[in-house]
A and B are shown apart, each in its own frame.
Chain A
Amino acid sequence: MRHTKRAVTAALLTSAALALTGCAAGGASSGGGGGDAAASCEPAGEDVTLTFTSWIPGIEDAVAIWNEENPDIQVEVQTGPSGNAGTYQNFFNQLEAGNAPDLGQIEYDALPNFRVQDGLVNLGACEDVLAAEDQFLDWTWGQVTLGTEDEVYGIPQDQGPMALFYRSDLFEQAGIEVPTTWEEYREAAVTIREQGGYITNFSQTDINQFAGFVWQAGGQWFANDGDAWTVELTSDESMTVAEYWQDLIENDLVSTYPAWTDEWNNAYNSGEVWTWNSAVWGANSILSGAPDTAGNWSVALAPQWNEGDAVAGNWGGSSIAVFNGTDHLYEAAKFALWLNTSEEALTSLNETAQIYPATEAGLDLPVLKEGVEFYGGQPIYDVFAEAAAQVSPDFVWGPTMTQTYADVSDGFKAAASGSSTLMEALEKGQESTIKALEAQSIPVAE
């Protein structure tokens, strides 16, 4: 049946295509190619038009600045839903069809997936790219080299160093010190629960937040030695983190509202929940989700596992990658570097979309030095800059994160409802991830 419908459509299509060739010309710039082995990084020597897909609203403002300054390298912005909501699948479809854009937005945790599917060009062929390494924070660069020496699969755009958002007014009223270790955090949780509140909400769905906790604890979920992948969802650090939160859940010391819902927003807005361990971009989420609490929030560095340590986790962040099939690697790399390192681009991105840069210099942007009214005038980005410098450069994402997130999230939901535990969720996630890798013929180390 399907064939016939396709045949009908194909027939319609060809007749239409004949009539409409004029309209088709303006479309995709990258040709059907797609098989250029070891792309070389040479200027085209002619005027070039690049296509760039991103879901960041307002990114076209930054691109407009570039287009103004570079008449010979024009960039067309394409858009869509956020990565996991459809754009990644579109990228894979386009790679399959040979009409992928030249550049695309890819979050760090999705890069290995595209790398394994052979969708990305190694930017290490471009000298400018290798030379730019020093401008980026070590760990953000580590996210795009994917554990290799001189291969680069994207230019880091933004990052999500984690810190502790807390209700300074409530802590003060209750006479509780802001916790600096996870042990103190649990003690504070008990005190707050006695007063009727919750210290925080444990999210069943934000598995990348949990990954950020594991990251901070020095743990790993994946490793890749070049030949095979190791899956370590049940590593010691990972299990320690799981046991810590399991204890809080079991003793009803944290709430378990599904994150990003009305109840969740309301829990923060009404003052029921007092803190949120979140990334720099979370500043905006609280501002919009809990508007009645304006002026009452502050930001502190994340609680530590060992007193005196200074390590932070990361939650989120993305890169600009170049897709296989591009005819203009040199120009694409040049644009990606400009977009993510130049002060004018970073300023524009921060103004339009609160993008928090991945470069050292970007963290010193004047807009990131100002006090923020919602946080009682605290210059909160100073805290995040400090946290950004404390993130470990070793954390590696796996090639099937969508599946891993989904499976672990299922387990976390069960744990939140009391029918299972976080540790079991990780064990199941470990098994299903190994199965998923094997199903895709990705070698797994024993």
Chain B
Amino acid sequence: MSTAIGPDATSAMPAVNPRGVDRHGDMPSVGRGPRESILSRTGAMLVMAVFTLYFLVPIWWLLVASTKSRGDLFSTNPLWFADFRLFENIGALLAHRDGVYLKWILNSLLYAGLGAVVATILAAMCGYALAKYRFPGRETIFNIVLGGVLVPATALALPLFLLFSRVQLTDTFWAVFLPSVVSPFGVYLSRVFAEASVPDELLEASRLDGAGEIRTFFTVSIRLMFPALITVFLFQFVTIWNNFFLPLIMLRSEELFPVTYGLYAWNSTVNQFPELRTYVLVGSLLSIIPLIITFLLLQRYWRTGLGTGALK
């Protein structure tokens, strides 16, 4: 969220300035306008700086800690480098237990990447149908889906576990994947976006040209909704990536763990097996890289998408 708020706040800044200048021109009391503007500007900058620091210090600490040997971790300045051993640490992490960490990263990418793609397609179809077709019970369905947004995923984990136990699907890939492809919030966003960005006239036109509903959806509508769908994808990607409770309840086999759960399992035994501490630190550092890359690549779309939603 902080990345989204940042640019908005800065773009709001120049808007303050002209108004200040205008007032300065109108009124004889010299300095009043500019002072206010400088004051509010520095104030805003200060608040932003404090928050940036607040968000970045833990990551900085993580980065620094990942470069240290186990001994230096406690005996040297926690916020500055000692003996630089990042690459040795990464090597040790990747070698630990036959590279199980890499497997966790791949699992996470699979759960989050594939899960978010499927969830986005499902949400897009559902939201589009709710926006563009009239059928009895449409609002009821929409309201029920909307209600689903309010139910926290954590509360559903245990019922899901009991359900999956019935069909003997616990401790499989599907136990984490299937619940991840459902995104009520995505449906809600898709409906709003579809209403805003897909004109009915266009649909009429494509119908007249003889395109079927499914073809229209995949060739015309989905392109119009694209920036919005990126938003849905990003939301769902992050949600699945961070969903730790579901794997905790569902999975028992190490080779199926996503990286969050794997690191948690290691971290829970660091008191007994201290060599794991370095692995947890370096592992955490590496595990945020895919998220950062995803955000940097898709951030542009995301902002447009959020804006579209906000207008409605």
Q: Are B75 and A90 in contact (CB under 8 A)?
A: no
Measured CB to CB, the closest approach of chain B to A283, in angstroms, equals: 11
**B-facing residues in A134-174 (Cβ within 8 Å):** none
B44 beta carbon closer than 8 Å to chain A? no
Question: In residues 3-44 of chain A, which contact B (Cβ within 8 Å)?
Answer: 4-6, 8-10, 12-14, 16-17, 20, 23-24, 27-28
Q: Which of A24, A94, A265 contacts B74 (CB 8 A)?
A: A265
- What chain A residues lie within 8 Å of B309 (beta carbons)? none
A342 to chain B, nearest CB (A): 22
> Is the C-beta of A306 less than 8 angstroms from some C-beta in chain B?
no
Whether B167 and A14, one on each chain, are in contact in the complex, defined by CB atoms closer than 8 angstroms, is yes
Q: Name the B residues within 8 Å of A98 (CB-CB).
A: 165
* A78 at interface, CB cutoff 8 A: yes
In the complex, the answer to whether A13 meets B253 with C-beta atoms within 8 Å is: no
Q: Is B36 an interface residue (CB 8 A)?
A: no
Q: Is B178 part of the contact surface with A, judged by Cβ < 8 Å?
A: yes
Q: Hey, which chain B residues are within 8 Å of A290, CB to CB?
A: 74
> Is A330's CB within 8 Å of the partner chain B?
no
Kindly state whether residue B277 has any CB partner on chain A within 8 Å.
Answer: yes
Interface 9-mer from A81-89, A221-229, A235-243, A387-395 = A81-89
A27-B161 contact given A79-B265, A269-B74, CB 8 Å threshold: no
Q: Which chain A residues border B264 with CB–CB below 8 Å?
A: 81, 85-86
A353 at the interface (CB under 8 A from B): yes
Q: How far apart sit A1 and B78, CA to CA, in the bound complex (Å)?
A: 47
Pairwise interchain contact B75-A292, C-beta atoms closer than 8 A: yes
- A117 lies within 8 A of chain B by Cβ: no
Nearest chain B CB to A181 CB, angstrom units: 29
| A260 on the B face (CB < 8 A) | yes
| B160 CB contact (under 8 Å) in A4, A9, A78 | A9
B172 at the interface (CB under 8 A from A): yes
Stretch at the interface among B10-18, B148-156, B218-226: B148-156
Report the nearest B residue to A18, measured CB to CB: B167
Whether B273 contacts A57 by the Cβ 8 Å rule is yes
Inter-subunit contact A99/B165 (CB<8 Å):
yes
B30 interface contact, C-beta 8 A: no
- A20, A93, A101, A262: the one contacting B249 at CB < 8 Å is A93
Closest B residue to A28 by CB, please name it. B168
Chain B residues whose CB sits within 8 angstroms of the CB of A354 once the complex forms: 272-273
A291 touches B182 (CB 8 A): no
Q: Are A17 and B274 in contact (CB under 8 A)?
A: no
Partner of B163, one of A13, A55, A270: A13
Q: Say which residue of B156, B181, B273 sits within 8 Å of A2 (CB atoms).
A: B156
B158 at the interface (CB under 8 A from A): yes
Is A96 among interface residues, defined by CB-CB distance under 8 A?
Answer: yes
B55 within 8 Å of A by Cβ? no
Q: How far is the CA of A292 from the CA of B70 in the complex (A)?
A: 11
Q: A17-B167, A28-B170, A97-B165 are in contact. Are A288 and B155 (CB under 8 A)?
A: no
Contact A23 B172 (CB under 8 A): yes
Cα-based distance from A6 to B184 in the complex (angstroms): 12
- For A53, list chain B residues within 8 Å (CB): 252
Instruction: Say yes or no: A55 contacts B268, CB within 8 Å.
Output: yes
The contact string, 1 if C-beta is below 8 Å from chain B, for chain A 390-411, is 0000000000000000000000
The verdict on A284 contacting chain B, using a C-beta distance below 8 Å, is yes
Are the CB atoms of B268 and A4 closer together than 8 Å?
Answer: no
Q: Does A289 contact B (CB under 8 A)?
A: yes
CA separation between A1 and B168, bound complex, in Å?
A: 25
Tell whether B174 is near chain A: CB-to-CB under 8 Å.
Answer: yes
Q: Does the CB pair A79–B253 fall under 8 Å? A: yes
- The dominant DSSP class at the A interface is helix
Task: For the complex formed, measure the closest distance between the CB of B272 and the CB atoms of chain A, giving whole angstroms.
Answer: 6
Encode contact with B along A247-281: 1 for CB under 8 Å, 0 otherwise.
00000000000001010011001100000000001
Contact B248 A90 (CB under 8 A): yes
Residue in A4, A97, A269 whose beta carbon sits within 8 Å of that of B144 in the complex? A4
Report whether A81 and B265 are in contact in the complex, using a CB–CB cutoff of 8 Å. Answer: yes
Given contacts A5-B151, A9-B178, contact A353 B161 (CB under 8 A): no
Known: A23-B172, A82-B268, A260-B271. A289 touches B74 (CB 8 A): yes
Q: A6-B159, A9-B179 are in contact. Are A80 and B71 (CB under 8 A)?
A: no
Complex Cα spacing A30 to B309, Å = 49
CB contacts (< 8 Å) of A292 on chain B: these are: 71, 75
Chain B residue at minimal CB-CB distance from A286: B274
Is A285 part of the binding interface, using a Cβ–Cβ cutoff of 8 Å?
A: yes
Q: How far is the CA of A23 from the CA of B175 in the complex (A)?
A: 11
Give chain A nearest CB distance to B166 CB in angstroms: 8
Taking the closest CB of chain B, its distance from the CB of A301, in whole angstroms, is 23
A266 lies within 8 A of B75 (CB): yes
- Within 8 Å of chain B (Cβ to Cβ): is A300? no
Which residues from chain B contact A4 at a C-beta distance below 8 Å? Answer: 144, 147-148
Q: Please list the 8 inter-chain residue pairs (A to B) with the smallest Cβ-Cβ separation, ordered nearest first.
A: A288-B274, A97-B165, A78-B252, A85-B268, A291-B71, A81-B268, A1-B147, A82-B268
Can you sample 25 A-B contacts with CB below 8 Å?
A: A1-B148, A2-B159, A4-B144, A5-B151, A8-B148, A9-B179, A12-B178, A16-B169, A23-B172, A28-B168, A78-B171, A78-B253, A79-B265, A80-B251, A80-B252, A81-B265, A81-B267, A82-B268, A82-B272, A93-B249, A99-B165, A269-B75, A284-B273, A285-B271, A289-B274
With A9-B179, A28-B171, A82-B272 already in contact, 10 other A-B pairs whose C-beta atoms are closer than 8 Å: A51-B252, A55-B265, A55-B269, A57-B273, A78-B171, A99-B168, A265-B74, A266-B75, A284-B274, A288-B277
